[in-house]
Structure 1
Amino acid sequence: MNSIALTPNGLQRRLKKHLLKAPQQFLAITTPGFEVCLCKELSAFPDIEILKQVTGGVEFSGGIDAVYTLNFSLKTANRILLRIETFIARSYPELFNKCRKIPWELYCGFTNAVSFSVSSKTSRLHHTENIEKAVFEAIQEYMEKLGVRVENKPDAPIRFHIRMSQDECTISIDSSGELLYKRGYRTDTAFAPVRETTACAILMAAGWENYPCIVDPMCGSGTFLIEAARMRLNYASGMTRSFSFENWPSYNASKWNRIKGNAFLQKKEQVSCALYGSDISETAVDASTANASRAGVLPFITFQTADCLSLTPPSDTGLLLSNLPYGKRVNAGEYDLSDFYEKFGKHLRESFAGWDFAFVVADLLFEKKTGLRTNKEIRFHNGGIGVRLIMGRV
């Protein structure tokens, strides 16, 4: 291929022809176990076509501008990838040769640096550093022929994800940057907090919108209640952060600003649900209060320092929602965990009869010791620990 210097006008023509006008394929990543919640969220966007659910994500198609709205608005997604190419590669020369045919200018533009995330399983090409080297050299050769010199820098915002699985190579570009659970408000944390995106998925799985009152008796850093308030107020998840797609050559600043402006206009003024959080730890309550203040929802949540075994229900019915201590999470200290479960179940049966619950627990002791019956559960991992979301009625 002859060297032809890439110009701004030439790049725009290529973007319009190959990227802006054609439907693109994406992968939205979520906590494994909550794919249905993410799928339900995506189905609310009329310009999105859901292709299929996969473990830990949902594949869908739509216009390239979908990354603006979805990164900004989705509650349960951790990352959104734009698919670039998928092919079989069983040798490094084959990988290099297939990569050098990809129109990298559509994703790199005039940038001078890119970065990579590489993984491989059950493939002949299993050395991730060599995979990265082959792909980068292909990008470098391609872009140099357009007069653009590119370096490999670990912190570059143009980040390509290379996945090898059973000799199939999938190349994507990250549109999100930092994981989407990083909303920007939670700087104070308690023990083993649930990610904000996972908290939203748990709220959705529990049918949170059907309850006039939600109580978190062990609120930790307040994530469940803060996310519930933000959803009731129609706050966009990405209101206060930036995204990797803002560095893409296809990025349209005016369109992005318009989307953000419309989101501000759609915010609600009141929460149509009473939200209560308590924790025996004053430090945890202080963290919850500080986080809620930064998130802009403190006026809509009532926090107090209290033992969960002495709580009284603030209304006749509602939802008990909490990430319960599960041994590996916290030091049980003055009480044995089994003993705590027994006392907790007794208190709920005596004081919260008729309430629904959704608890994150790590083992079967909860049902056995509390005497509470569950009618639904979702298995997932929190902080590397296998846990379950269990739901039922007291």
Structure 2
Amino acid sequence: MGKITLIATAAMGIEALVAREVRALGYENVTVDNGKITYEAEESAICRSNLWLRTADRVKLKVGEFKATTFDELFEKTKALPWGQFIPENGEFPVIGKSVKSKLFSVSDCQAIVKKAVVDSLKKTYHRSWFDEDGPLFRIEVALHKDIATLTIDTSGSGLHKRGYRYLHSEAPLKETMAATLIMLTNWTPDRPFADPFCGSGTLPIEAALIGQNIAPGFNRDFASHGWDWIGQANWDKAMEEAEDLAKYDQPLEIYGSDIDHKMVDLAKNNAMEAGLGEIIKFKQMQVKDFTTKSKYGCLIGNPPYGERLGEVKEVEQMYRDMGRTFAHLDTWSIYMLTSHPDFEELYGKKATKKRKLFNGNIRTDYYQFFGPRPPKNE
């Protein structure tokens, strides 16, 4: 088929991190935009991108992009795209859409027009008047932004945050992609201790173990594009073999997770077992103010309660004070905390070395980074 164009979507603020992951896979012509990273590659990149991208939300195949200010223009230009190259006769192709700052603001109308245009295009390709749509899924998206329509097909299916290990989780879980983001924005390396004193359902410790042993995050799940004939099973097999070859299952890791709620600790243990990492991560029920360690030069990452609910604010603020006193003894550790509380530094009792704005779901948060000293180089 030759070169295709892919779009890896990303949460606001982490586009550069996703772009770094894309380049690490060996892909070039990488363009970074708000919420998306566009790049060119062979069809095998669909397999490798879905398997390896830890911080992207999903991977989309870009079919075309053009200006459209009328419904006729949207119809004709969509119909002219090579849909038959990607969607087989029996393909299921629902259409979703969004429109921002565009003359064509009715999303439902845009979806209906794109659907009709794709059907007309496929009729011409396959010389038939009806499509049963009982085969593999090719979910089409029409995204309009400032009158530019981008037509894509989703290659991922479920969002990439669904790694396949977390069947049970807490009420407000940290997405796996966000957990990976928090870790990859630190100075942690697999030869250093890692701790999460607010582990909840275990997402941060599990993602740290996957990163530490270089295990592809999509290794234990399926993707919508698994059933696409034009990619071919050989490409999927090769990508899976590569992931297996690059995994470092023998890499020793020192990873700890703790939580005040024993039910969360049990949940975290079950999720770690599901991920095949139950023997690697040590979980314990514990209040944050009881955290102690004899290890040096570790990395502590936490997503503590923010105090968003009424009645929780004073309790959360006291916990931040306790945290500051407890972590003051970790003078060789680097500490990273994510919270939306505007007075975190004052309550914690120390100004962060660096602060970064991130969105945890729809909540605007700050990632407070307290850098410790570098570990001495081994002789």
By how many angstroms is 1:345 displaced?
0.8
2:41 is aligned with 1:74: no
2:258 is aligned with 1:278: yes
Distance 1:168 1:324 in 2: 41
By how many angstroms is 1:249 displaced?
4.1
1:106 corresponds to = 85
By how many angstroms is 1:392 displaced?
1.0
SS at match of 1:386: strand
2:286 corresponds to = 306
Matches within 5 A, 1:1-394: 20-21=1-2, 23-46=3-26, 48-145=27-124, 146-148=126-128, 149-150=130-131, 157-209=137-189, 212-328=192-308, 332=312, 336-349=315-328, 351-393=329-371
2:196/2:258 contact within 8 Å kept: yes
Code of the aligned partner of 1:172: T
By how many angstroms is 1:151 displaced?
6.1
* CA 232–331 in structure 1, closer or farther in 2 if over 3 Å, else same: farther
Distance 1:292 1:45 in 2: 27
Distance 1:249 1:198 in 2: 32
Distance 1:220 1:258 in 2: 36
Distance 2:29 2:334 in 1: 32
1:86/1:171 contact within 8 Å kept: yes
By how many angstroms is 1:113 displaced?
2.5
Distance 1:329 1:160 in 2: 38
SS at match of 1:82: strand
Distance 2:336 2:365 in 1: 13
Code of the aligned partner of 1:391: Q
Code of the aligned partner of 2:146: Q
SS at match of 1:170: strand
Distance 1:112 1:233 in 2: 37
Write the deviation string for residues 35-89 of structure 1: whole angstroms up to 9, x where unpaired: 222122111122x114321122211111122111110111111101111111111
By how many angstroms is 1:272 displaced?
3.4
By how many angstroms is 1:210 displaced?
6.7
1:229/1:271 contact within 8 Å kept: no
2:375 corresponds to = none
Distance 1:302 1:216 in 2: 11
SS at match of 1:298: coil
TM-score (ref. length: structure 1): 0.89
Code of the aligned partner of 2:52: S
By how many angstroms is 1:129 displaced?
0.9
1:357/1:391 contact within 8 Å kept: yes
SS at match of 2:263: helix
2:202/2:268 contact within 8 Å kept: yes
1:43/1:50 contact within 8 Å kept: no
1:213/1:275 contact within 8 Å kept: yes
By how many angstroms is 1:329 displaced?
6.6
SS at match of 1:102: coil
By how many angstroms is 1:254 displaced?
2.0
Distance 1:204 1:375 in 2: 17
Q: Percent of aligned positions with the same letter in both sequences?
A: 27
Specify every segment of 5 or more residues in structure 1 that has no aligned partner in the other structure, as ranges.
1-19
1:114/1:150 contact within 8 Å kept: no
Distance 1:124 1:37 in 2: 33
Distance 1:354 1:191 in 2: 34
Code of the aligned partner of 2:97: V
Specify every segment of 5 or more residues in structure 2 that has no aligned partner in the other structure, as ranges.
373-379
Code of the aligned partner of 1:366: F
1:8 corresponds to = none
By how many angstroms is 1:195 displaced?
1.0
2:180/2:207 contact within 8 Å kept: yes
SS at match of 1:201: helix
* CA 112–80 in structure 1, closer or farther in 2 if over 3 Å, else same: closer
Write the deviation string for residues 16-50 of structure 1: whole angstroms up to 9, x where unpaired: xxxx12x222211122111222122111122x114
1:81/1:175 contact within 8 Å kept: yes
Code of the aligned partner of 1:181: H
* CA 389–330 in structure 1, closer or farther in 2 if over 3 Å, else same: farther
1:114/1:151 contact within 8 Å kept: no
